[in-house]
C-alpha cells in the first residue's frame, strides 16, 4: 500500500495552492493547525482531494475532506480510505 504522510500533504499544498510568507508548513504545529489558519480555503482543499485521488488511485466523495479541519485529521481520513481500498 502506498505510503501517505504529512510530507505528502505539504508537498501537494505547495504545488497546488502555493505558500507565502504567512504560511509555515514546516512549523512544529503544522499537523494540528486548521487548514483555514494555514491560509487554505475550500478551493485549496478541493485541489488537495483531486491530487490525492489521482496519485493514490482512491475515490474521495465530494465534501468528505472538507469536514477535516487539520492536516492530521486529513491524514487519518486518507489512511482509512487507503486501507479500505486495499482490503
Partner 1 sequence: MSASGIRPGRRGRSVVTGLGVVAPTGIGAARHWESVLAGKSGLGRITRFDPTGYPVRVAGEVPGFRAGEQVPGRLVPQTDRFTHFALAAAEDALADAAADPATLPEYEMAVVTASSSGGTEFGQHEMENLYQKGSSWVGAYQSIAWFYAATTGQVSIRHGMRGPCGVICGEQAGGLDALGQSRRLLDTGSRLVLSGGTDASLCPYGLVAQMSTGRLSTEDDPARAYLPFDAAASGFVPGEGGAVLVVEQADAARARGVPAYGELRGYAAGFDPTADGTAARHSVLVSVVRRALADAGLAPGDIDMVFADASGTLAEDLAEARAITEVFGPGGVPVTAPKTLTGRLYAGGAALDVATALLALSAGVVPHTAGLGRTAPGCEIDLVLDRPRQTDPRTALVLARGHGGFTSALVLGAGDRDARTK
Identified binder of partner 1 from the candidate list 6, 10, 23, 77, rule CB under 8 A = 23
At closest approach, how far in Å is the CB of 3 from partner 1?
22
Site string for partner 1, 34-73 (x = CB under 8 A): -----x---xx-xx--x--xx-------------------
Q: Which is nearer to partner 1, 5 or 50 (CB)?
A: 50
Concatenated DSSP letters of 1-68: -----HHHHHHHHHHHH---TT--TTSTTGGGS-HHHHT--HHHHHHHHHHHHHHHT----TTTGGG-
Amino acid at each position: 500500500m502506498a505510503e501517505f504522510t504529512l510530507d505528502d500533504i505539504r508537498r501537494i499544498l505547495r504545488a497546488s495552492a502555493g505558500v507565502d510568507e504567512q504560511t509555515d508548513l514546516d512549523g512544529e504545529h503544522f499537523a494540528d493547525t486548521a487548514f483555514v489558519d494555514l491560509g487554505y480555503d475550500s478551493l485549496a482543499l478541493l485541489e488537495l482531494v483531486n491530487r490525492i485521488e489521482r496519485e493514490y488511485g482512491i475515490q474521495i466523495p465530494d465534501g468528505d475532506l472538507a469536514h477535516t479541519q487539520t492536516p492530521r485529521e486529513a491524514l487519518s481520513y486518507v489512511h482509512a480510505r487507503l486501507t479500505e481500498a486495499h482490503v
